[in-house]
Amino acid sequence: YIHIINKADMAASKGLKILVGCKRVIDYAVKVRVKPDRSGVVTEGVKHSMNPFDEIAVEEAVRMKEKKLAGEAVAISVGPPQSQETLRTALAMGIDRAIHVEIPLAQLEKLQPIHVSKLLAKVCESEKPDLVILGKQAIDDDCNQTGQMLAALLDWPQATFASKIEPSQDSKQLRVTREVDGGMETIDVSVPAVVTSDLRLNEPRYATLPNIMKAKKKPLAKMSPDQLGVDLQPRQEVISVEDPPVRKAGAKVESVEDLVGKLREKGLVK
């Protein structure tokens, strides 16, 4: 599936159409507890909110609209009925409309990035965005796969761990600065493309009350995986989920020599 943007100068065009992914995850401040049967973590009655990296993605889309780089920003969430609250937050931050791909409760626990990326790819076929921005990873599974898989499925270029997105020098592409282990890498990608947001891309705004009220009137469409023709058969089986081992006490040393000595003792250095 190839969709090439014919607009020569991005600045002069109506602006990019952006699709932003938002995931509803357990709130970062909650103390996560493993279920007694070790099949997963307790989610019932636990506070959930939008994945922090997705908030950054939403903020970037709204800023691109404000800078007139983007014309329309659409938020999408794949999840249970409560994902609508997550979408409403995105709408309150300035997104124009939202799409909710509702996953039945029975299939929710076994949903994996491969399924989500296939669902998103299907939505891209009909929505035809110029840019998809996703959070680089979700704070519940830390997979860091959906963005990359989506780009592969669509055969679009990808720019992951973005800390800056701007038009390229000739305004025909996007210049993305990426945070990689070695430092910063700047690449130009042609649109349509998939970008995943990293921490320093921006600082998300607060949803103000007037915007929260405006969000009520913005359209929120519902879809099902069946409508999109995507099979949610799990590819992985979770065997057990356990608490991390209790951290053992360390030992304090008085000097660097002691430290090196101890490391040698344990055979960690030669």
The smaller minimum CB distance to other proteins, of residues 58 and 69, is found at 58
Q: Does 28 bind other proteins (CB under 8 A)?
A: yes
Question: Which two structure tokens, joined as six digits, stand for 131?
Answer: 């840019």
Binding of residue 223 to other proteins (CB under 8 A): no
Alpha carbon separation from 145 to 29, 54, 117 (Å, rounded): 24, 14, 9
- CA angle (129, 135, 139) in 5-degree steps: 150
In the 8-state DSSP scheme, what is residue 249? P
179 binds other proteins (CB under 8 A): yes
Q: Which of 134, 136, 158, 173 binds other proteins (CB under 8 A)?
A: 136
The span from the first CA to the last CA of the chain, in angstroms, equals 55
Q: Which of 42, 52, 102, 107 forms a contact with other proteins (CB under 8 A)?
A: 52
Residue 198 binds other proteins (CB under 8 A): yes
Q: Which of residues 64-103 bind other proteins (CB under 8 A)?
A: 85, 88-89, 92
Residue 206 in the binding site for other proteins (CB under 8 A): yes
Cα separation, 90 vs 96, whole angstroms: 9
d(CA 88, CA 57): 15
Q: Which residues bind other proteins (CB under 8 A)?
A: 28-32, 47, 49, 52-53, 55, 85, 88-89, 92, 136-137, 139, 142, 144, 161, 163, 179-181, 198-199, 203, 206-210, 212-213, 216, 243-247
